[in-house]
Structure 1
């Protein structure tokens, strides 16, 4: 099957005046126009091509690589706005259409917008939507704490920055954990710091090495943050006090604070441990 809005590896079937006809394993064919035909080729060679509908609504294969593909998110520039909607630059001859009903805010010519690309089943056309949240779902998570994830900066909120996680879920980076300038559309690596009630995801940019922090160490960091950066616990504290505060054994506590101390994330004082501010 030839997939619209995706890269397809197809076989060169024959050469005709308008270009090369390519075929999938099921015998479905699509034209690769002359402007995209490679200088050297042989019949039965395989080509990786992107497939979409051209300006005449015909299925066509191209060797151009768009800025966004079906199911993806990207920051695109608005080239024009008409009575029908907005037209976005996605690196292709035919611009990507964003109907007014799919605009979170009214788009303006020259503006940049984070959009999702999907296939309109009624028209079989690729369409953009800046209402990105409706394409995300946290009901069934595919990630867990301490997983490394791909994130796309989505939009700011009063408490931080919303991010798209693995093109599937919505997450949040809190203001006090943002140590660099972030802009909508930035693509970065992150770490799942915590899963909260209703599967809300707390994401860290990993500046303090969350990937190398065991769960007990992370628990201590969370408690330090919740208690103003200081806990009245040391390796001399009683097992009962440690268990009551952190729900872990004294042995686990000593191992965890040792790891945090080596990473220079905490200082160990006479009457407790203190979070080192970065």
Structure 2
């Protein structure tokens, strides 16, 4: 079966004036237009292609890499708004349509919007939605405490940054746990810090508890080596200063420093810490 809005591995079936016809194992065919035909190929060669509907609503295969595919999230630019909805740049010749009913806020030309791409069952077309929370479910969680997870930064709030966990759940990184610049659409690794009774999930970007000591200790050693073996930081330093220099909380800093001191890798003095 050829999957719309996804990458497909298909065989070259035959050549025509329009391009190459590709087929899946069941014999379903799709055209790869001439502009995407490789310089050299052989019949029965396999190709990885993205399949979507062209401007004439015909199934077509391309070698372009879209910024988003079906079932995924991305930050996209709005190229135009018509009486029917907005059209987003997703790196393809035909723009991605976002109907008004799927817009959390009315989109404007030139604006950037965080959206989800899905297959509309009524029209059988790929469409975008900026109402991303409807595609997330925290009722049946498939993550556990301290687990490493994939994150996509969704949108900011007054208390932190909302993130999408493994493309399935909604989570939150509290402001106190953010030690680097985050932008909507960023993809990064994180850890499940807490799962609340109502299934709300707290997330952090670094390891948790004793698990964080070694990574944080390594970060301090790197910073010491980069600064001629000295850091002007102590347990009396301002938390914001520690956050700015080391991208970690004061609590994590003190634990990591304690670990390094026990291993006799550093000296602690009144004016800071020194590499042994």
* In structure 2, distance between residues paired with 1:265 and 1:42: 63
Alpha carbons of 1:31 and 1:178: their partners in 2 closer, same or farther (altered >3 Å)?
A: same
Question: Which stretch of structure 1 is more off in the superposition, 35-44 or 184-193?
Answer: 184-193
Structure 2 unmatched runs, 5+ = 213-251, 260-276
CA contact (8 A) 1:191 1:211 kept: no
- Counterpart in the other structure of 1:64: 64
For 1:210, which of 204, 208, 211 is the aligned residue?
208
Q: What does 1:117-266 correspond to in 2, within 5 Å?
A: 117-206=117-206, 209-210=207-208, 213=211, 263-264=256-257
Alpha-carbon distance, 1:70 to partner: 0.2
* In structure 1, distance between residues paired with 2:188 and 2:15: 43
Partner of 1:176, secondary structure, is helix
Alpha-carbon distance, 1:210 to partner: 2.5
- How many residues are matched? 223
* In structure 1, distance between residues paired with 2:258 and 2:104: 41
What is the RMSD computed on CA atoms of the aligned residues? 2.2
* In structure 1, distance between residues paired with 2:205 and 2:170: 15
- Counterpart in the other structure of 1:78: 78
Alpha-carbon distance, 1:142 to partner: 1.2
* In structure 2, distance between residues paired with 1:114 and 1:211: 33
Deviation string 1:30-58 (CA, Å, 9 cap, x unpaired) is 00000000000000000000000000000
Structure 1 unmatched runs, 5+ = 215-258, 267-278
Alpha-carbon distance, 1:122 to partner: 1.2
